[in-house]
């Protein structure tokens, strides 16, 4: 019992089985690989044909092909993992689509698909896992791969950014409602990450614009996002919930003067003449 009549419930054991949706993609697999290195049993759920092959690269890994926007497929995949690997204590929703189109041009189907994959897929798998964990008295670690696009508007990001903003709020909602059961819920919001998806979607103009507005003047790497997920998924993060960690090279913190700061650093680092 703690103050004002609130009841303190000691959280149960954290099962070390993890599900990573989108785990066959570049970023998702980096997350899955890091979780496996941390000693977790990892199952990846992905729409890609290479899912089983990627899972085979993980010690004791499991791969299931499913479209996270198809509720029946996702439910079946989750239940298969649970039956084969036991209770799922760590859930990372990394599956996502990232359409880029100006607001005046984006169509309803594209907007809806972003919501279905980026938001509703997460809602479904988190709810499935939460119900099992609560029923069995176990702790949990839920992590959403969100985006800086969900925290700061960007041109052409109406569908993507809105779905990611909603995803961030979903985790805050889960932190509130699942906290009493010992389940934490947090978001990792990467800035631009150098993956095949970003290389296909980002034009040279976009990449140059990011370089001008990110203090570290580069795209992130997959492992830098995976490192943040590793903390949120660990036993050490048991009192951290409802948070959003931006892995963005200082992008969100920066206001004006980024090119000036970059130029000043270049001058200071220049080798002395002669």
Kindly list the catalytic residues: 160
Q: Is the backbone of residue 7 left (phi > 0), alpha (psi -120 to 50) or beta?
A: beta
Cβ neighbours of 7 (radius 10 Å): 7
Whether residue 77 contacts residue 46, with contact meaning beta carbons closer than 8 Å, is answered with: no
Helical residues (DSSP H) of the chain, grouped into ranges: 26-37, 51-55, 71-85, 108-114, 121-136, 158-178, 196-201, 204-213, 222-232, 258-269
Q: Which H or E run includes 244?
A: strand 244-247
Cβ neighbours of 189 (radius 10 Å): 25
Whether residue 132 contacts residue 88, with contact meaning beta carbons closer than 8 Å, is answered with: yes
The Cα–Cα gap between 178 and 209 comes to 40
HSE, side-chain direction, 13 A CA sphere, residue 67: 7
Pairing of strands 140-145, 41-46: unpaired
Quote the radius of gyration of the chain (alpha carbons, Å).
Answer: 20
């Amino acid at each position: 019992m703690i103050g004002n009549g609130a009841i303190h419930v000691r959280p149960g054991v954290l099962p070390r089985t993890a599900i990573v949706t989108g785990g066959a993609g570049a970023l998702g697999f980096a997350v899955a690989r890091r979780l496996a290195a941390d000693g977790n049993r990892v199952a990846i759920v992905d729409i890609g044909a290479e899912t089983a092959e990627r899972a085979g690269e993980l010690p004791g890994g499991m791969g299931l092909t499913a479209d996270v926007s198809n509720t029946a497929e996702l439910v079946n995949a989750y239940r298969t993992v649970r039956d084969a690997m036991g209770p799922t204590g760590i859930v990372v929703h990394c599956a996502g689509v990232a359409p880029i189109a100006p607001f005046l041009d984006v169509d309803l189907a594209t907007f809806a698909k972003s919501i279905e994959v980026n938001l509703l897929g997460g809602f479904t798998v988190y709810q499935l896992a939460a119900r099992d964990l609560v029923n069995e008295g176990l702790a949990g670690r839920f992590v959403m791969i969100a985006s800086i696009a969900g925290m700061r508007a960007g041109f052409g990001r109406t569908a993507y950014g809105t779905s990611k903003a909603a995803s961030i709020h979903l985790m805050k909602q889960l932190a509130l409602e699942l906290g009493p059961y010992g389940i934490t819920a947090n978001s990792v919001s990467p800035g631009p990450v150098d993956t095949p998806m970003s290389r296909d979607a980002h034009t040279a103009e976009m990449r140059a614009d990011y370089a001008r507005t990110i203090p570290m003047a580069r795209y992130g790497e997959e492992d830098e996002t995976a490192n943040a997920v590793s903390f949120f998924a660990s036993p050490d993060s048991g009192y951290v919930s409802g948070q959003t960690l931006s892995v963005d090279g200082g992008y969100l913190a920066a206001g004006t003067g980024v090119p000036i700061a970059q130029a000043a650093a270049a001058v200071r680092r220049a080798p002395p003449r002669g």
